[in-house]
């Protein structure tokens, strides 16, 4: 742990979790807890709980959980040190700088951000010089005004091997920092050269206004056509969106999701300042949740080709999971929003935007693709596709409207289609319920090796361990009693054993228990699981403690006995093998 326990405890104490979470989630008080809709998954019934007494959060729907630091890390896509610094700034605290690792990490990130800002300035200055003439002509030819070029900080990487490298080293940045920022590459001999050359440059700016990376469009026939910065300490393309720093300030509650940088810039110039784009990849779940933090509706304005259609379908699923309303923009007589606005003007585009299709309508139209609905075979094939789509519509009224419309379209009774949709929907709900029960039985085991040790190999002991830890969390004074009979090694779930050991340490020092101090050596998945364990606590006393200890002891000795029996059997097998092979020593 890079920060001391005492500092982290004070940090959390001075950043009340209810106050912090309330900045992102609308909470309603319910007893000692506050409840709201989870910001980390789509839900219509509130299952997100924030405990003001014990200063942690837990979602009973998706399993997210942790303390105020964990919450800020997830909601703002921050790493641990950055979340600590943000909370310290919020509380007016000074972060202790006596840790070399902390100082080094912060200095490195600050230097990379400063370097990226200086690189953006360099590229912009080149664009306005003789070396950037090609790039400026391209941007002006695309219809961008000088004010738009300035607003987005557009630039140009000169057609040379080391112009940026030379300028940044002149400013005092090292070659290693240029490599770390993704602005330089190294050849086989170790010689460095500029990553971006002969490209129009698009600075990528995060929601706090910091330049974190670049996208570059080539000026000739070389490939790739668009080149983005690689992943760095300050840039994660899956967790950022182009122009969201501007779009989040737009009036209204709508985001226009585009495919490329130029579409976004053209829309902003035309007055549609809520346009954003993903960064060279398909939309990710992190980006969908990021959008949902700022706006409640998304209009997907992707290209009308097959790639755009497929990308839109993937985006719909992710945006639904994030809990935003979704509409799809069909762009007639143009391949993208930029071309449509140039042809027909902003007023027609505004009308087109307002007439966007709901996602269900869009998918039903896609389901008709390649089918002849005048023929029985075509109608049957369409209905099979439509039933699956309609079964996934959560709203009863919306579902009934589309059932009636689809039934009329193919000429069958709405009741007949409704029964089939209902049957498929029941099966879908049952499948989801079974999956949820499986996850509750084997918490987080599906999330990879880092969380597999949370799988409950011995559910009876594990449940008792959960209840014991929850009771000790609420009544730390009982820890000394538990320690007279239990050791960490007796726990069937390793992470529970580690937390019990930590409780023993804190108890000896007469120190209070908190999720922050108990999970200092736990992974994010383990911390979320423990928050869920503590959130389920319903009370208890010394008698209950004794019952839990008894179960843990009993199951521990059963395991020891089974291990002993297995050891004896293995020894017997070895003995018999030696005897069968004529080993005289047997």
Q: Could you tell me how far CA 375 lies from the centroid of its own chain? A: 45
DSSP letters of 383-402?
A: HHHHHHHHHT---HHHHHHH
- What is the number of residues in the chain? 586
What totals of helices (H) and strands (E) does the chain contain, helices first?
25, 16
**What's the Rg (C-alpha) of the chain?**
30
pLDDT of res. 442: 52
Tell me what pLDDT residue 455 has.
61
The span from the CA of 483 to the CA of 500, in Å, is: 9
CATH of span 102-235:
3.90.980.10
pTM, full prediction: 0.78
Helix (H) or strand (E) holding 247: helix 244-247
Q: Does domain 452-569 have CATH number 1.10.860.10?
A: yes
**pLDDT for res 448:** 39
The span from the CA of 142 to the CA of 33, in Å, is: 55
pLDDT score for 575? 59
Measured CA to CA, the distance from residue 248 to residue 369 in angstroms comes to 36
Per DSSP, the residues of 509-537 read TTPPP-HHHHTTT--HHHHHHHHHHHHT-
Q: What is the DSSP string of 314-336?
A: HHHHHHHHHT-EEEE---TTSSS
Q: To which CATH superfamily is domain 5-91 assigned?
A: Zinc finger, CHC2-typedomain (3.90.580.10)
* Whole-Å CA distances, 555 to 459, 488, 501: 10, 14, 19
pLDDT score at 433: 80
- The predicted structure's pLDDT at residue 144: 97
Q: Which fold has domain 244-364?
A: Dna Topoisomerase Vi A Subunit; Chain: A, domain 2 (3.40.1360)
Sequence spans of domains, the chain = 5-91, 102-235, 244-364, 368-441, 452-569
- What is the Cα–Cα distance from 285 to 321, expressed in whole angstroms? 8
Task: Say what the pLDDT of residue 451 is.
Answer: 40
As a whole number of angstroms, the longest Cα–Cα distance in the chain is 98
In whole angstroms, give the CA distance from residue 549 to residue 540. 13
Question: What is the rounded CA–CA span in Å between residue 120 and residue 110?
Answer: 16
Alpha-carbon gap, residue 6 to 9, rounded angstroms: 5
Q: How many CB atoms lie within 10 A of CB 57?
A: 31
Report the C-alpha gap between 37 and 106 in whole angstroms. 34
> What pLDDT is attached to residue 446?
42
Matching CATH topology for 5-91 and 244-364?
A: no
Q: How confident is the prediction along the chain (586 residues), in pLDDT tens digits per residue?
A: 468 888 999 999 999 999 999 999 999 999 878 999 998 887 778 999 999 988 999 998 888 999 999 999 999 888 888 899 999 999 999 888 666 777 788 889 999 999 999 999 999 999 999 999 999 999 999 999 999 999 999 999 999 999 999 999 999 999 999 999 999 999 999 999 999 999 999 999 999 899 999 999 999 888 899 999 999 999 999 999 999 999 999 999 999 999 999 999 999 999 999 999 999 889 999 899 899 989 999 999 998 788 888 899 999 999 988 889 999 999 999 988 999 999 999 999 999 999 999 999 999 999 998 999 999 999 999 999 999 999 999 889 999 999 999 999 999 999 999 999 999 999 999 988 887 666 555 544 444 333 434 568 898 999 999 999 999 998 999 999 999 999 999 999 999 999 999 999 999 988 889 999 899 889 888 999 999 999 988 778 889 999 999 999 999 999 888 766 565 566 667 757 766 666 655 4
pLDDT of res. 195: 97
Cα–Cα distance for residue pair 516/473, rounded to 1 Å: 12
Contact in structure between 217 and 202 (CB atoms under 8 Å): yes
pLDDT of residue 308: 86
How many Cβ atoms are within 10 Å of 238's Cβ, its own excluded?
Answer: 15
Scored b (16 or more CB within 10 A) or e, 59-80 reads bbbbbbbbbbbbbbbbbbbbeb
């Amino acid at each position: 742990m890079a920060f001391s326990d005492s500092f982290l405890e004070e940090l959390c104490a001075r950043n009340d979790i209810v106050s912090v979470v309330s900045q992102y989630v609308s909470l309603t008080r319910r007893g000692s807890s506050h409840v709201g809709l989870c910001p980390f998954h789509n839900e219509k019934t509130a299952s997100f709980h924030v405990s003001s007494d014990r200063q942690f959060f837990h979602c009973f729907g998706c399993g997210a959980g942790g303390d105020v630091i964990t919450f800020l890390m997830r909601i703002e896509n921050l790493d641990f040190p950055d979340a600590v610094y943000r909370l310290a700034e919020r509380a007016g605290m000074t972060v202790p700088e006596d840790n070399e690792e902390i100082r080094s990490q912060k200095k490195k990130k600050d230097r990379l951000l400063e370097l990226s800002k200086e690189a953006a300035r360099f590229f912009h200055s080149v664009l306005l010089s003789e070396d950037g003439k090609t790039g400026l002509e391209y941007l002006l030819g695309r219809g961008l005004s000088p004010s738009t070029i300035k607003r987005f900080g557009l630039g140009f990487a000169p057609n040379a091997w080391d112009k940026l490298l030379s300028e940044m080293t002149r400013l005092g940045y090292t070659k290693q920092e240029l490599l770390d920022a993704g602005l330089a590459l190294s050849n086989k001999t170790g010689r460095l050269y500029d990553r971006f050359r002969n490209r129009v440059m698009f600075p990528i700016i995060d929601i706090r206004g910091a330049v974190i990376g670049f996208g570059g469009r080539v000026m000739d026939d070389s490939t790739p056509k668009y080149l983005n910065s690689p992943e760095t300490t300050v840039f994660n393309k899956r967790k950022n969106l182009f122009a969201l720093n501007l779009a989040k300030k737009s009036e209204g509650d709508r985001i226009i999701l585009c495919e490329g940088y130029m579409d976004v810039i053209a829309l902003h110039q035309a007055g549609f300042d809520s346009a954003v784009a993903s960064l060279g990849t398909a939309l990710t779940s992190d980006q969908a949740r990021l959008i949902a933090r700022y706006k409640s509706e998304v209009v997907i304005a992707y290209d009308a080709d097959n790639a755009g259609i497929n990308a839109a379908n993937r985006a719909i699923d992710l945006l639904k999971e994030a809990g935003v309303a979704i509409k799809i923009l069909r762009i007639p007589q143009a391949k993208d929003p930029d071309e449509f606005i140039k042809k027909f003007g902003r007023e027609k585009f505004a009308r087109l935007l307002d007439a966007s299709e709901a996602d269900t309508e869009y998918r039903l139209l896609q389901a008709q693709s390649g089918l002849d609905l005048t023929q029985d075979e075509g109608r049957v094939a369409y209905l099979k596709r439509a039933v699956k789509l309609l079964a996934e519509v959560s709203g009863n009224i919306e579902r009934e409207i589309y059932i009636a419309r689809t039934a009329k379209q193919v000429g069958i009774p709405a009741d007949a289609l409704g029964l089939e949709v209902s049957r498929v929907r029941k099966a879908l709900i049952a499948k989801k319920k079974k999956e949820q029960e499986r996850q509750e039985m084997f918490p987080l085991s599906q999330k990879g090796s880092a969380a597999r040790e949370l799988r409950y190999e011995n559910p009876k002991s594990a449940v008792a361990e959960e209840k014991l830890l929850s009771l000790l969390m609420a009544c730390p004074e009982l820890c000394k009693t538990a320690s007279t009979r239990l050791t960490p090694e007796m726990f069937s779930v390793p992470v529970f054993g580690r937390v019990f050991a930590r409780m023993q340490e804190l108890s000896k020092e007469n120190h209070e228990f908190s999720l922050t101090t108990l999970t200092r050596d736990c992974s994010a998945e383990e911390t979320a699981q423990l928050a869920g364990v503590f959130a389920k606590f319903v009370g208890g006393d010394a008698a209950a403690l004794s019952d839990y200890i008894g179960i843990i002891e009993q199951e521990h000795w059963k395991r020891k006995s089974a291990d002993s029996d297995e050891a004896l059997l293995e020894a017997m097998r070895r003995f018999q093998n030696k005897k069968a092979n004529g080993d005289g020593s047997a």
